[in-house]
Every structure is written in C-alpha cells, then in structure tokens.
Structure 1
Amino acid sequence: MTTLRIRFDQFYTWFAIVLIGCLATHSSRADTLSVAVAANVQFAFNDLKEEFKKQTGHDLKGVFNSSGKFVSQIANGAPFDVFMSADMDFPNHLHQQGFSASVPKIYAYGSLVLWTTKNLDLQSWQRLLRSEKIQKIAVANPKTAPYGKETIRALKFYKLDAAIESRLVYAESISQVNQYVHSGVVDLGFTAKSVVVSAEMQGRGLWIELPVDSYTPIAQGVIVLKHGLENAPQASQQFYDFLSSAKAKAILQKNGYAVP
C-alpha cells in the first residue's frame, strides 16, 4: 500500500511538472498579429515589424489600405488584432461602437507633401497647380483617407480647390496616389512625408512639404481590437505599448513623422 502511494505521488508530481511546462510553453509562444495599417505607414511598418520581432519574438502581418475602408471591414468582422489609423477619428469611432479593447492613443503625427517624378519647379507650387501645364493631380479619397481629407483642407486654405477641381484624380488610398505619381500617370500628387523620405522612395522625384498652418495636424491613432483581445491579448498589448517606446518613436521620426 505504501509502495502504491509513493508511486501515485511520483506520478502526480510528474504530471504536475508536465502540465506546468505545457502551460508555460503555451503562454510564451510567439504569436503572429494581424495589423490593419493605414497606407501612409507602409514603409515605416517594415522597420517597426523588425524591431518588435527582435524585442518580443512576435511577428506582425500588416495589411495596408485607407483607414476608412478598414473601419468598414472591422465593423463587419474582419479578423484584425490591432488597427493603426491615419487619424484619431476612425479609432475613436470604433472605440465608441465597442469594437476596441483599448483606448485610442496617438502614435505619430503625419505631414503632407506635394510630390512629382517629372521635371517641375515646386518652389512656386501654388502657381504651378493653377497653370495649364498641369493636367492631373492625385489626391487620396477624402471620404476614406485622412490624408486626402487634409489635402482638400489645404487646397481650400490656399483657395486652389475650385481652380484645380476638374484636374483632381481621386485615389483609393495614399498607396494608390504613390502609384499614380511614381508611374507618371499624373503630373503631381499629394502624399505623406513618410513616403518620400522612405528608403524605398528616396531620390525618386521632387517634393515639397506643405506649410503646417494650411491643414489640421494629422494625429494618427492606434487601438487593440476585440479580435486581438480574444486571440492574442498579450502580444496585442505589447505592440500597442511598443508604439510608445523610444525605439518605435526613433523609427517613426526616421520615417518622417513627428511623435507625441
């Protein structure tokens, strides 16, 4: 009887050790987060992804689109864990509708630039836009892309909106604006500073930054979504926190953003 008890105690101890080991392995496993990323962050995201992997072991899978389109997708059940928006309005909307597991916070401030790959003098860019020499000007859809919304605000500020309205080519996102400009389909395009200073685009064409008093500062917000809370809570929170770290801020600044 004593022998049986000893064997049972040994088995119980062995079982407990194995169970604890399994739980520890499960809790420390590397997750792959699905991140809905505003199109203007596309190039910076590669650096953020690399640094986050180095620090935590977790992978990031970025999907890029206009922020407004992501809102519709998330509301319809798209399985994103984290949403990096191009503004604060869309994250706040999702938070108010109960789709987020965190309070929206600002991770970066974006800037607007006018970009061309053609031989154009951008120093007198307002006069240039009014001239007949310019036939097509790319702008992100102001209804779904915050950078497009602020571009229209800047054009109104300089009283250029009516003068060039017939020549505006609306793109679905900043990514599509970049494609139009880079391919020469349009003469110029309004895009994010983060695009033209990226390693991928440096030296390709000419650009000029728009004065910041002509549009509302583009505060970009991040939230953890309910899907992230339910499927990868620890990794989702880590990435949310990571975006406020010194390393992440340095990456964002290198990519043309101001940081909070």
Structure 2
Amino acid sequence: MKKGIRSFFLLVTAIWFGIGCQDKDPNKITVAAAANMQLPMEQIVKKYTETYGIDCDLIIGSSGKLTAQIVEGAPYDIFVAANMKYPEAVYAAGKAKDLPKIYANGKLVLWSLTHESPISINTLKEPQINHIALANPKTAPYGVAAKQVLQYYGLYDSLKDKLVYGESIAQTNQFITSKAAQIGFTAMSTVMSQAMRNKGMWVAMDPEHYTLISQGIVLIKRERDNEMEVQGFYDFLFSEEAKEVLKDFGYLMDE
C-alpha cells in the first residue's frame, strides 16, 4: 500500500513539473538532471533546441531523489546525475537501456557572500560563522565530497552543530546566496555561472581530499515514440559543443 501511495505521489509530482505536456509535443524530451547541472543543462538544452528544433523539459533535483523516482517509474527519458553511483543504481534496477557513461568530472568549492577577503578551509573556524551550508550527503554527491573534505581536515565533528543541509546543491546555494549560511560548499559550476561569477569569495577544494566526482548519464528504458530524438539529445551531450559549455562552468572533461 505504501509503495502504491508513493508511486501515486511521484506521478503527481511529474505532472506538476510539466511532464504531462509531452502529450502536446510527442517529440519533446524529458531530462532529469542533478541540481549542480541546472545552469549548464539550461544552456545545452537551449543550444540543442535552437539547432534541432526539439524541445526539452528539465526536471531538477538531487541525484538520490531522481533515482528513486526513476526506479518507481517516473516518465523521464535521460538521467544526468552528479556521480556514477545513482545511474548505476538505475541500471541495476533494470531501468536503463545501456550502462551509464561519464560525461564530466565535477569540482567542489567553498563559497561565501559575507566575506570581502579571500577565504580558505580555516575560515570555517571563525567565530562569526554560525551556519555552514552543504548538500545532504545521503542524496547529493557534492554533499558527500563536502563531508569528506571536512573529515580530512578534522573539522567535521567540531563543526557538526553549524552544518545546515540542503536537499540538493540548488537549495544549498539558496542558503549561501540568502546569507542564511555565512559560507558553504557548492559545485564550481555555480560560481562560474554568469549570474554568480565575481560574486563573493570562493576557493576550490583540493580534489585529492575528496572522491572524484565522476558524473554519469544514462538513457532510461521505457516505452516512447520519440526514441530517435532522445538518442539524438543523448549523443549531443557528448559533442564538442556541449563539452565547451561544461568547461565554461568549471567541469573537467576527458579525465
């Protein structure tokens, strides 16, 4: 009974986000993307639509929650995740057409809009820092990376009471930009975006101190009439044009 109720609410959520609009355009592609990919995916989708005339619906959320929705049958076509763990879980559940592939490697940064001078990991120990934002490690790969960095520097236990968790990088960014948190961990794609570039202070975390954020993509296996269009967008995500967008947002390519 609980599973049925959960599936019902997932369906309602899908419709709420506009997936039901596919009935009006049978060629429209529905892409579920991790929150850290929202801004670059918006640019990639725009380029694809301008070039090929095919519209895409973007569904944004944490990788963990999107995975749960896909396993429950949410009508997505492509899943663009923030690491490989979740696409592999989709594949293991029999919901993917093929094995997931890595499309980019993400970078973690520490970011503050309350500081006017350069920041570092030691900034977290300043007495005026009351809240430190990070994505939930249970559902967001960038949250896992942030926790690993804190543990590497021996700060996780001492700062635990100051940590505030966003459901995704998108909500984490809201904590930082609203200054509800004086500082926080986010994806480099956030601080490299046009909207946030040159705002506040940020520093990249040493990738040696957290597990490589290899971001994966997978084609969802389901009945649809626009298989050719879906495959076309999937292939476009590995094109040089898409790679240039990802590079502009600070992602590491071909590594």
| Structure-1 separation of matches of 2:116 and 2:137 | 25
| Superposition CA RMSD, Å | 1.4
Map of 2:230 onto structure 1: 236
Question: 1:76, CA displacement in angstroms?
Answer: 1.2
Map of 1:201 onto structure 2: 196
Map of 2:52 onto structure 1: 56
Residue by residue over 1:195-234, the C-alpha shift from the partner in whole angstroms, topping out at 9 and shown as x without a partner, is: 111012112211111111111111100111023x634211
Q: 1:245 aligns with which of 218, 233, 239?
A: 239
Question: 1:120, CA displacement in angstroms?
Answer: 5.0
| Structure-1 separation of matches of 2:166 and 2:130 | 16
CA contact (8 A) 1:36 1:80 kept: yes
Unaligned runs of 5+ in 1: 1-28
Question: 1:142, CA displacement in angstroms?
Answer: 0.2
1:119-130 to structure 2, matched below 5 A, reads 119-123=115-119, 125-130=120-125
Question: 1:90, CA displacement in angstroms?
Answer: 0.4
| Structure-2 separation of matches of 1:76 and 1:122 | 45
Unaligned runs of 5+ in 2: 1-24
Map of 1:5 onto structure 2: none
Map of 2:13 onto structure 1: none
> Higher helix fraction: Structure 1 or Structure 2?
1
Question: 1:122, CA displacement in angstroms?
Answer: 3.8
Matched, 1:212 2:207: yes
Question: 1:30, CA displacement in angstroms?
Answer: 7.3
Map of 1:154 onto structure 2: 149
Matched, 1:104 2:100: yes
CA contact (8 A) 1:44 1:255 kept: yes
> What's the TM-score, normalizing by structure 2?
0.86
| Structure-2 separation of matches of 1:118 and 1:33 | 40
| Structure-2 separation of matches of 1:134 and 1:175 | 21
**Between the two proteins, what is the percent identity of the paired residues?**
38
| Structure-2 separation of matches of 1:230 and 1:204 | 43
CA contact (8 A) 2:116 2:200 kept: no
| Structure-2 separation of matches of 1:126 and 1:35 | 35
Residue by residue over 1:132-157, the C-alpha shift from the partner in whole angstroms, topping out at 9 and shown as x without a partner, is: 22110001000000000111011111
Q: 1:116 aligns with which of 109, 112, 115?
A: 112
| Structure-2 separation of matches of 1:31 and 1:149 | 36
Residue by residue over 1:21-61, the C-alpha shift from the partner in whole angstroms, topping out at 9 and shown as x without a partner, is: xxxxxxxx972111101000111011101121133221111
How many residues end up aligned between the 2 structures?
230
> What's the TM-score, normalizing by structure 1?
0.85
CA contact (8 A) 1:38 1:66 kept: yes
Q: 2:134 aligns with which of 139, 159, 172?
A: 139
